[in-house]
Amino acid sequence: MKSWICKAFGEEPVLIDCDDPIAASGQVVIDIAACGVNFADTLILQGKYQKRPTGPFAPGFEISGTIRAIGGDVAGFAVGDRVMALPDWGGYGEKIAVDAALVTRLPDVVDFNAAAAFQIAYGTSWFGLKYRANVQPGEVVLVHGAAGGVGLTAVECAKFLGATVIATAGGTEKCAIAQSHGADFVIDYKTQSIRDRVKEICAGIGRTGADVVYDPVGGDVFDQSLRCVAPGARILLIGFASGSVPQIPANILLVKNVAALGFYFGAYLEQNPEIARAGMTELLDLLSSGAISPMISATYELADAMEALSAIRDRTATGKLVIRCGA
């Protein structure tokens, strides 16, 4: 099999021939059809992600494909099953061995590209907004990075939960994308002050500020958010795509009774298995019915995976990118 292998943190992966994986006890081997591309792929290659491989590895956190082999102590799956999975890494390749607990059977109506594109982005937004931030109908949700693969799903999920959505993005084209996915208001952070515009928008609809902030950016975006939230607001910390981890002034949290909530999707699933099963069932139902559909802006062949990674790293991509790894 071929796989994009990174031999040391900070080095670019190389597409090389590797031994086929073997299904150990509790594992299945999957012929990978598609792999979603995420900003976290760039972090793990630098050794900056929450989990770090100890040897050569391939990036890639979300895959879809067909089960090729099944190890011992695995029940509920058969060779040939169409599945999706959330491995710790290894998706940029043709095959992978994955713990069966991380694998979910796919409905026939869900194609491999959609399955690979939706797990992390929609999972992060749905679990973060519904189960971690407890978004309620009628609340105002401020979504940053709203034209990206994760941000777009946050706009959609917040609307499903009955919220009014204010979306921020860079440039008129990206703002239009966010609006087309359901955002009630958009802010172009390149030309407008997030803090001032959120206050203006909320005043116009009779609210004191944003009730929930969905922040995968950090840095100055977080600082501005903190100053335009309503009393009792929840700020959901998804990531730090800006490269700057905010230092939270606790006095503002105290005075306005604001909660800053960290949310790491992978760990949340491990820590809350019952919620994980319920939430993934909800998402698969929405995907199967067509109520949600990942915006896949481009697909790449396995040989061109580094082009997809560059588009994510340079932030030129909108929506979701998918690598086609096999048939």
HEC per residue, the chain: CEEEEECCCCCCCEEEECCCCCCCCCEEEEEEEEEEECHHHHHHHHCCCCCCCCCCECCCCCEEEEEEEECCCCCCCCCCCEEEECCCCCCCECEEEEEHHHEEECCCCCCHHHHHHHHHHHHHHHHHHHHHCCCCCCCEEEECCCCEHHHHHHHHHHHHCCCEEEEEECCHHHHHHHHHCCCCEEEECCCCCHHHHHHHHHHHCCCCCEEEEEECCCHHHHHHHHCCEEEEEEEEECCCCCCCCCCCCHHHHHHHCCEEEECCHHHHHHHCHHHHHHHHHHHHHHHHHCCCCCCEEEEEEHHHHHHHHHHHHCCCCCEEEEEECCC
pLDDT digits (tens, 9 = 90+) for 237-254: 998 877 788 888 888 899
Report the CATH number that the domain containing residue 146 is assigned in CATH.
Answer: 3.40.50.720
Do 89 and 184 fall into the same domain?
no
pLDDT of residue 327: 62
Over the chain, what is the mean pLDDT?
Answer: 94
Tell me the residue range of the domain where 33 lies. Answer: 2-118+290-324
Do 168 and 201 fall into the same domain?
yes
Does 82 map to a domain?
A: yes
Do 146 and 243 fall into the same domain?
yes
Report the CATH number that the domain containing residue 303 is assigned in CATH.
Answer: 3.90.180.10
Per DSSP bridges, beta strands 27-37 and 95-99 are: antiparallel
Do 228 and 183 fall into the same domain?
yes
pLDDT of residue 51: 87
Q: Quick one: tokens of 96?
A: 């992978």
Q: Pick from 246, 262, 278: which residue ends a domain?
A: 262
Q: Pick from 244, 262, 280: which residue ends a domain?
A: 262
Do 188 and 145 fall into the same domain?
yes
Q: Which residue has the higher pLDDT, 19 or 240?
A: 19
Do 110 and 139 fall into the same domain?
no
pLDDT at 20 over 70: yes
Confidence label for 277 from pLDDT (cuts 50, 70 and 90): confident
Q: Are 221 and 189 in contact (CB under 8 A)?
A: yes
Does 269 map to a domain?
A: no
Does 110 map to a domain?
A: yes
Do 19 and 87 fall into the same domain?
yes
Do 94 and 23 fall into the same domain?
yes
pLDDT digits (tens, 9 = 90+) for 70-127: 999 999 999 999 999 999 999 999 999 999 989 999 999 999 999 999 999 999 999 9
Average pLDDT over residues 209-221: 95
pLDDT at 215 over 90: yes
Do 140 and 176 fall into the same domain?
yes
Does 278 map to a domain?
A: no
Does 37 map to a domain?
A: yes
| Domains held by the chain: number | 2
Average pLDDT over residues 15-28: 97
Do 93 and 138 fall into the same domain?
no
pLDDT digits (tens, 9 = 90+) for 48-83: 888 899 999 999 999 999 999 999 999 999 999 999
Do 238 and 156 fall into the same domain?
yes
- pTM of the predicted model as reported, rounded to 2 decimal places: 0.86
Do 106 and 142 fall into the same domain?
no
